[in-house]
Amino acid sequence: MKTVFALAAIAALASKVSAASCWANRLGYQCCKGNTVVYTDSDGKWGVENGNWCGIVDGTQQNATCWSQPLGYPCCQSTSDVIYTDSDGDWGVENGNWCGIIKGGSTGGGTGGGSTTPGEQYTISGNPFSGVEFYINPYYVEEVDNAIAQMTDSSLKAKAEKMKTYPNAIWLDNIKNMQSWLQPNLEKALAQQSGSKKVLTVFVVYDLPGRDCHAMASNGELLANDSDAQRYKTEYIDVIEEQLKKYKSQPIVLIIEPDSLANMVTNIETTPACAESQDYYFDGHAYLLKKFGVLQHVAMYLDIGHAFWLGWDDNREKAAKVYKKVIDSGSPGKVRGFVDNVANYTPWEDPTLSRGPDTEWNPCPDEKRYLEAMYKDFTSAGIKSVYFVSDSSRNGHKTDRKHPGEWCNQTGVGIGARPQANPISGMDYLDAFYWIKPLGESDGTSDESAERYDGYCGHDTAMKPAPEAGQWFQAHFEQGLENANPPL
């Protein structure tokens, strides 16, 4: 019997050593050279290198609840006798099979010394960006590292290194990405909290049925029909709600469905796709407001486009009615306020522009004047909470666009104001500048043969050649660094 057991153990050991060499290989992925954890699931810890997922094999796996599971082995249930030890940990044998011996340690993959077990309920009081630490998006750090590897100019590399110290929003732009990015980043943010200092994480909720109905480059996975509307609720919003409720001890900001309601203000009558999406947009907003708007540690900001979308008097008047209706439909859920200039290039201030033929008589030719006007219009319409977050990720330098409505990969781009709370004296209703759209991620492809090609990405002032929306655009990133204002 002992001989049979020994032979079985040796065979299992040989299998185990083979699996441990790179456990991700059996799933069709490479193993990482580094150890930056971006996502953790039942298979193991994952990183991103060269734009591809890779598996992380190191001693940190011993901190997991059952660290040997990612290697294809259960943790021991009834034995603590160590038969074999390697770089992964201590191994025992149960029922003739190898199992990992748990030594203890914290549960989960967070870093920073904090707990990854959610604590007491946190309640946002006032500006959610104030008095907190901003969470740094590890996926963007990885993207920037890859970008630096392509640079030869030492000055440009130094500027790029600084980009890794600033936060930006994490886009939950389809069901798969939501499942991949939401929980792991919430856990890492929680682990970074120490003492009374909270870590704020900002997510973009972006997957409405018929999403971005007036554009091609940013269309989503869900169509404007009843079946996909149900998927949006059950597979997307409900799953987000579950995770938000779990991580109740930390502040969370949600940027809600960029471009959607602005399309409902201006494009219903001229764009058939927007007319077809209207009911699903309104119903989707009502549903998510009721779900997220009652959570004490969550603050929501509805997207209001930008100055050269809704800045004209008649558009602002109509917008006030639309947004009031949407907010009322989500009762008892509440919103903190609104977000402007998401993924756009309109400067915060542009004293060279005034209401006249050059601006098509727009009284709000920059974002500052736009928010000043929107604040008056929204409060007059009876909206109770009117605060703003302005996306300053790409509006630090006046771009080369011939018309302020140009939006795709604009040449002359420059990083704008750094993320900060209460950035403008005298504008108490401006909660923050924040980087919602990460510099370097494309707005859309310039390939005219591509299915998602949008004509705006072929305009003279759009940088070319450009990859698909969301993919890394090195030249655009480098120009944004060079034109940063304030300088990096």
Q: In which band, very low, low, confident or very high, does the pLDDT at 7 lie, cut at 50, 70 and 90? A: very low
Question: Distance between CA atoms of 38 and 244, rounded to whole angstroms?
Answer: 19
pTM for the full predicted model: 0.78
User: Each residue of 27-67: pLDDT tens digit?
Assistant: 667 777 777 776 666 667 777 776 667 778 754 333 334 67
User: Each residue of 93-119: pLDDT tens digit?
Assistant: 766 677 787 653 333 333 344 566 788
pLDDT beyond 90 at 261: yes
Predicted confidence at residue 51, as pLDDT, reads 60
Predicted confidence at residue 220, as pLDDT, reads 82
Question: Distance between CA atoms of 328 and 103, rounded to whole angstroms?
Answer: 53
Least confident interval from 99-108, 135-144, 305-314, 459-468: 99-108
The pair of three-digit structure tokens given for residue 71, joined into one six-digit string? 């290697």
**345-to-202, 238, 410, 435 alpha-carbon distances in Å:** 20, 33, 8, 12
Binding residue positions: 171, 173, 306, 309, 344, 407, 437, 441
User: Rounded to 5 degrees, what are φ and ψ at 399?
Assistant: -80, 175
Catalytic entry in 207, 212, 259, 377: 259
Establish whether 41 is a catalytic residue: no
Bridge partners of 90, per DSSP, are 85
Question: Distance between CA atoms of 304 and 264, rounded to whole angstroms?
Answer: 11
Predicted confidence at residue 4, as pLDDT, reads 33
Establish whether 328 is a catalytic residue: no
Please state the domain extents for the chain.
23-55, 69-100, 133-483
Give residue for tokens 């298979």: 43
Q: In which band, very low, low, confident or very high, does the pLDDT at 81 lie, cut at 50, 70 and 90? A: low
Q: Which CATH number fits domain 23-55: 3.90.1220.10, 3.20.20.80, 3.20.20.140, 3.40.190.10?
A: 3.90.1220.10
CATH fold for the domain made of 69-100: Endoglucanase; Chain: A (3.90.1220)
Question: Distance between CA atoms of 222 and 225, rounded to whole angstroms?
Answer: 8
**452-to-91, 115, 177, 244, 476 alpha-carbon distances in Å:** 51, 43, 19, 32, 19
Binding residue positions for substrate: 171, 173, 306, 309, 344, 407, 437, 441
Give residue for tokens 């590292």: 145
CATH fold for the domain made of 133-483: TIM Barrel (3.20.20)
Q: In which band, very low, low, confident or very high, does the pLDDT at 217 lie, cut at 50, 70 and 90? A: low
Q: Are 23-55 and 69-100 in the same CATH fold?
A: yes
Catalytic entry in 88, 303, 391, 443: 443
Percent of the chain with pLDDT over 70: 84
